[in-house]
Structures are given as C-alpha cells and as structure tokens.
Amino acid sequence: MEKLTIIGSGTMGHSITLSAAWAGINVNMYGLTETDSAAGINAIRKKLEGLVAHDLIHLNEVKGILKNIRLTNSIDDAIKEASYIIECVPEDVVLKNNLFNQIDLKCGPDVILASNTSGLRLSAIVSGTRHPERTLITHFWNPAHLVPLVEVLRSPATTEEVFVRTMALLKLMGKKPIEVKKEVPGLVGNRLQFALFREAQYLLDQGIASVEDIDAAVTFGIGRRLAVTGPLMSADMGGLDIFYTVSNNLFKNISNASESYPALQGLVSKEKYGDKSGEGYYQWDERFSAKMNMLREDYLIHLVKDDKSTDNCTAGLEK
C-alpha cells in the first residue's frame, strides 16, 4: 500500500485526505500553519458526522478513520516516508512549480508526485524538476470524499509504472479514475461543464429563459439522464441518426463565445461572487446557503449509497 501525503488542508486537501483515510489508508495531511491543519481536521470531523448521520459509516468507525490521519506543518516531515504525494495548493502555477521543484529535490525518484490542478498545464507545473517521469495530474472533484471521478493525465515522460500505481491507489480509495490522453486546458470534466455554462450564460443574456428556469432545465431534465448514461451513451440510446441531424442543425446556433457574457461580467465587477459573498445569480443568505449545501450533500450521499450497493460506481456501463 502507498504511503500517502496530501500537501494542503483546504477545500480539496482535507476532502481527499478523508477519502484516503475512509478507505483504510494511512495519510499525512500537511497544512501551512497549525491553524490551517486544525481547520482541515475540523472539516473532516464535520464531514464524518454527516456520513454517520446518513448511515454511510457507523459511529464506532470514526475513531479508526481519524487514526489513519496524521497532521503536520513541516514539509520535510510530511514527505520523509511518503511513496505518493498529492499536491492540493491554490491554482497558482508559480506556487505549484516551486513546490514541485522543492519536493523533487527532497524525494527519491520512486516517489510519485501528483497535482490536483483543475486547469493548469502539467508541463508548466513540473518544469525544471529532475524526475518528470514520476509526475502526473490527479484531478479530484469537489467534494472529493463523495464524488468518485478523478481525471488522470500523464505527460510524455510519465512512466507506465507511475500510471499503474496511480490507478491502483485511486481504485483503492473507491474512486472512478479516467485517463485524459492529451494535455488540454480543463481536462475532460471542466471542458464539458464550461461548455454547458457558456450556453447557460448565452440563454440568460438573450432573455430566452430565467436563471431559475435554465437551472431547472438541467436539474429536472438532462441532468437526471446524464447522471446515468453520459452524453455519448445518451446519443447511442436516442439514435445517432437523430443526434447527427440535430447537431448539424443546432451547432450553428449554439454559443461560440470566447469570453463571459455581460451578466457574469457585471456580477464579478461588483464583487457578487455567489454563495461566498451573499449574492450572485441568486441571493445567498445564511439560511439559503445552508439549505442548498445540505441538499447537494444529501443527494451526493444518496448516490454514494447506490454505488456501494452495487460495489461498482459504473455498474450500468459494464457489459
């Protein structure tokens, strides 16, 4: 079993740490300060309370999961015995590159260095490292302890052994890893997500539908279907002849904008960032925020239960 270290105790770092500990893996979680580490472990405890409340784990399992987690505020201490390191620091290419080069100098060549970046290029993150052959991207999705998908991107230098070890670790953590075969901005998931977001912005900008109705078209329509079949299987099931014809007719009318639309530009310019600032497309007070975050978590937990009941989060795709 890999000796795992997570660099970062924030939103993604603590959630990935929980995923590993929940799977029975001993994991070091590095926080920049004691305050950061304390915030991370407190967030883990809160998530564990939610898992207990939803009967995903028993109360007597919590102590064992927490015992699998070791906190540290020293990089040297965090990585000294690690065989696999996942970096989860903010999306700043200079910060990530400096960190990778620092760790690269301190670790033996067999230690795997993975980045959780969602949008930066691997080639830029690992530039200057001595051993690019042991680097790759493992992009988890938030909240990482509940969402199975992890996008894996290796560089031309990444060895097959590193890739195989990575896939094995992620599967041990109960994840559904997919291979991204070419380095492209946004990998797979974000490219699909932001293609939909661009069209949603266009529909709003053109006055075609309201904020609420655009969201409803997804949550009560295509979102329910895509959660089961995905876009390509949906096309197969609907008939490729039909999807071919509709694509040819519709593509010319779909947004191809290269920048955000005025509504979003206006919100951001006024520092209306959504939930975290109290206003965005919606008004976010404390009550509404708690309600929506609970609804999302409850639904994701429901899906995790379904996954566990089949022992395979892709059971429907298996032939």
Report the distance separating Cα 318 and Cα 309, nearest Å. Answer: 15
| Sheet arrangement for strand 4-7 | 69-72, 27-30, 4-7, 84-87, 112-115, 135-140, 149-154, 176-180
Q: Where are the domains of the chain?
A: 4-180, 190-258, 271-311
pLDDT tens for the chain, residues 1 to 319: 899 999 999 999 999 999 999 999 999 999 999 999 999 999 999 999 999 999 999 999 999 999 999 999 999 999 999 999 999 999 999 999 999 999 999 999 999 999 999 889 999 999 999 999 999 999 999 999 999 999 999 999 999 999 999 999 999 999 999 999 999 999 999 999 999 999 999 999 999 999 999 999 999 999 999 999 999 999 999 999 999 999 999 999 999 999 999 999 999 999 999 999 999 999 999 999 999 999 999 999 999 998 887 765 554 555 5
Beta strands at 69-72 and 84-87: parallel, antiparallel or unpaired: unpaired
Q: How many residues does the chain have?
A: 319
The verdict on whether 61 is a catalytic residue reads: no
Which CATH code for domain 4-180? 3.40.50.720
- Residue 297 carries which side chain, given as an amino acid letter? E
**In the structure encoding, which two tokens stand for residue 183, read together?**
């380095």
Residues 49, 61, 151, 179: which is the catalytic one? 151
136 within 8 A of 116, measured Cβ to Cβ: no
CATH architecture of 190-258: Orthogonal Bundle (1.10)
Q: For residue 83, give Cα distances in angstroms to 1, 77, 137, 293.
A: 9, 13, 16, 35
Would you say the C-alpha torsion 173, 176, 180, 184 has a positive or negative sign? negative
